[in-house]
Amino acid sequence: MRIRIATRKSALALWQANHVAGLLDALPEVEATELVPMSTRGDEVLDRSLQKIGGKGLFIKELEVAMQAGEADIAVHSMKDVPAEMPAGFCIAAVLERANHADAFVGGAGISFSDIRQGARVGSSSLRRQAQLRMMRPDLRVEPLRGNVNTRLAKFEAGEYDAIVLAAAGLERLGLERHISHVFTTDEMLPAAAQGVIGIECLENAGALRGLLDKLHHRPTVRTTLAERAIARVLEASCQSPVASFAACEGDEMSVTALVALPDGSRSIRDRVTGPAADATGLGERLAARLLDRGAAKLLTLAGSMHG
């Protein structure tokens, strides 16, 4: 079997696609793999927030069109960019073992988050990160920052920001972990659903291909991903909503923590549930229901009106 892999053109996306290609090439059933790099609207429109141009689904739409047209067989994504509801005809056929789930603070040599000056300008376009930064440090000026990892680092190094916040996994995958001056704990900043997870998407009716991709599935990561994405699905939250979640397994037990907040950090709801890891989706749904009972829907509506 020959497999064509649709991918975005950023350095991180290409790293992820090449990583998947290497895993597939190691399977005896795979004759060859080929990358099909593509540009997406999410990559091209950088002067407006993702919320205003349609959300993070814009990073994957063109890749799905390529699969529908028969120009590619699979697409490789950061799972935190994948909407909680998959479009009809598509599925996530495999998720790889989770890398670092945490958010990373980039503040310069020897400058940890606790060292950043009063009123510092911190770059992040994620409403989830903005909310939690302001919850910890209301004095900070948190301002939009878009572009790929290297673009964001270049803007920081040019002095446009005093600090920026990025996913630790992306920096580590690109060999840029030297820029990390603080890794946020989950008590400080909960990550996005499935942050650090690579997913492989294909057409739902591609039976033979799905059977092959199933060999790359990392079962513990499947469970944490199901739990975290269930929260976003029940809350009807987009990838850019100020919603955070993190699931962790210890033996057969799983704990799931989630947060809904206003982007300005003035109001938030945080809760946690534990239960059997085998009931990952159920745990996520139960936690989401508890958040809704505590007013999460009203908070998300208000957040949307603030940043619509």
Q: Which residues are catalytic?
A: 81
HSE-up of 214 (CA within 13 Å, CB side)? Answer: 8
Task: Look at the block and give the residue holding tokens 């994405």.
Answer: 229
Tokens of 215: 């060999």
Residue 163 β-bridge partners? 122
Question: Which residue, among 280, 276, 283, has the nearest Cα to 221 in the 3D structure?
Answer: 280
- The one-letter code for the residue type at 177 is E
Task: Look at the block and give the residue holding tokens 């946020």.
Answer: 184
Secondary structure (DSSP) of 63-86: HHHHHHTTS-SEEEEEGGGS-SSP
Query: What are the φ/ψ torsions at residue 77 (nearest 5 degrees)?
Result: -130, 155
Buried b (16+ CB within 10 A) or exposed e, 128-145: bbbbbbbbebeebebeeb
Secondary structure (DSSP) of 254-305: EEEEEEEE-TTSS-EEEEEEEEEGGGHHHHHHHHHHHHHHTTHHHHHHHHHH
